[in-house]
Amino acid sequence: MKNKRMLGTTLIIVMIILMGLSIAMIASVSFPKGYKDYKNNYYFVTKQVIWFGAGTLAFWITSKYKYTRYKKRKMFLYLIGAALLVAVLFSKEVNGARRWFTLGGFRMQPSELAKLIIILYLAGIIDYCERKKMNPQKLKFFMRQLIPLLVYIGLIIAEKAFSSTVQIAFIGMAMIFVSGVNMGQFITVLLASGFAGMISIMSTPYRMKRFIGFKNPELNYQAQQSLIAIGSGKLIGKFYGNGLQKFFYLPEIHTDYIFAGYAEEMGFVGSLILLLIYIVLLSVILVTLIEKKDKYAKYILTGIFVMFSSQILGNIAVVSNIVPSTGIPLPLLSYGGSTTIVTMATLGIVYNIIKSLYIEEEQERLKKERMQEENQEA
């Protein structure tokens, strides 16, 4: 890409579009629940605007903070994440799980922040091992990445946050894979992880119930209502504000199931447009990854790309009953404080890396101009 400034501009435009869609859709689908629980039709949309304000601040901070500085602070960040994951195990139990801190009116979910921290930590570790010229085929190279990842996975499992566990494992294993580790070791751990996941599902009654419901949608009320919402939208939808599933037919329609509410009101055409917006977002990250020469930045961007792509595909797959039901928010669309702030902070890091491409482009241009001037003088 000749003009790398277009990457940053495109990223900002996509973020603004998604935030606008989020506010509009949350206003539409959440007002019955807002009135029922809080006697305020605009309760959830008001809070989401606040989350976007906090997220914008997080984006601004991380976009100004030079990404290379995370190298030296990787252990500090990792320990903060681990401390939060341990501390949340002593928090108040909600729906049989301990995943949130409640501070005033804000519920913080440490597992959301852990996804970003593990990306920065693993990128730093891989970069350190490469600079020390460690052989990636050796077990030591593999274990230096795997053990910290397993610690986070173990702590998140203890929270009973299965979807976050799967996603952070997916992110971590993808980053380990691209670091060039021994394939025999990698496949062994991958198979063991899959086996452990199946045991976890079969040994937990509510997870088995979700799995059975996935195979038989008529036994899973939420999956059934989600499919009704998507199907009833047809080609062009019922139009904004006219959806029916929000009237207590589909639980969590403003959070993890917002895509179903969106599809009901905007139809197949609107859903396709939304998917194209997400494809543009992922393309910006991917092009930046390809253009950037710094390997450390490439590892960060790999983790971020996997993080967003797995969330987008995972959410739509759950809502469409392609995979068993589990809590996966749709980036920048679903209601939620932790996920919104962490998502925008993550995109701030992407923007900072894009800005470094601007600088490299400008330096290259000045270098060519100097060479041309020297040739003319000669």
> Quick one: which H or E segment has residue 76?
helix 74-87
β-strands 106-108, 101-103: how paired?
A: antiparallel
> In sequence order, which residues have a C-beta less than 8 Å from that of residue 258 and are 6 or more positions away?
22, 25, 26, 29, 330, 333, 334, 335
Interior/surface letters 118-152, b for 16+ CB within 10 angstroms, e for the rest: bbbbbbbbbbebbeeeeebeeeebbebbbebbeeb
User: Which residues on neighbouring strands pair with residue 97, listed in sequence order?
Assistant: 94
Q: What is the pLDDT of residue 107?
A: 77
Whether residue 2 has pLDDT greater than 60: no
Q: Which residue has the tokens 């207590």?
A: 248
The stretch 158-173 carries a mean pLDDT of: 87
pLDDT, residue 109, reads: 87
Rounding to the nearest 10 degrees, give the CA dihedral for residues 37, 41, 43, 44.
90
**Count, residues in the chain:** 378
* Residues 141-158 pLDDT 10s: 889 999 999 999 999 988
The whole-number average pLDDT for the span 8-37 is 95
Q: State how far the Cα of 197 lies from the Cα of 323, in Å rounded to an integer.
A: 14
- Out of 160-169, 334-343, 347-356, 362-371, pick the least confident: 362-371
Q: What is the DSSP letter of 100?
A: -
For the chain, give the mean pLDDT: 88
User: Is there a contact between 295 and 167 (Cβ–Cβ < 8 Å)?
Assistant: no
Half-sphere exposure of 306 (CA within 13 A, CB side): 22
Specify the residue for token string 């799980």. Answer: 97
Using one digit for the tens of pLDDT, what is the confidence trace for 255-286? Answer: 999 999 999 999 999 999 999 999 999 999 99
Q: Residue 248: pLDDT band by 50, 70, 90 thresholds?
A: confident
Q: What distance in Å separates the CA atoms of residue 305 and residue 282, rounded to the nearest whole number?
A: 7
Pick the closest to residue 347 from 313, 315, 316, 307 (CA basis). Answer: 307
Task: Count other C-beta atoms under 10 Å from residue 75's C-beta.
Answer: 12
Partners of 108 in the β-ladder: 101
Greater pLDDT, 340 or 248:
340
Residue 219: band (very low, low, confident or very high) from pLDDT cuts 50, 70, 90: low
pLDDT at 25 over 90: yes
| Residue 200, pLDDT score | 64
- Grouping H, G, I as helix, E, B as strand and the rest as coil, residue 106 is strand
pLDDT digits (tens, 9 = 90+) for 277-312: 999 999 999 999 999 989 999 999 999 999 999 999
Which pLDDT score is estimated for 39? 92
Q: 208, 225, 246: which is closest to 324 by C-alpha?
A: 208
In the predicted structure, residue 327 carries a pLDDT above the cut 60: yes
Q: Which residues of 200-228 are buried (b: 16+ CB within 10 A; e: fewer)?
A: eeeeeeebeebbebbeeeeebebbbbbbb
Tokens of 217: 């949608």
Higher pLDDT among residues 19 and 219, named by residue: 19
Question: Residue 159: what pLDDT?
Answer: 82
- For 342-366, how does the pLDDT look when each residue is reduced to its tens digit (9 = 90+)? 999 999 999 999 999 888 777 777 7
Higher pLDDT, 309 or 373: 309
Whether residue 133 contacts residue 177, with contact meaning beta carbons closer than 8 Å, is answered with no
Total-model pTM:
0.91
The torsion region of residue 248 among left (phi > 0), alpha (psi -120 to 50) and beta comes to left
Distance CA 340, CA 349 (A): 15
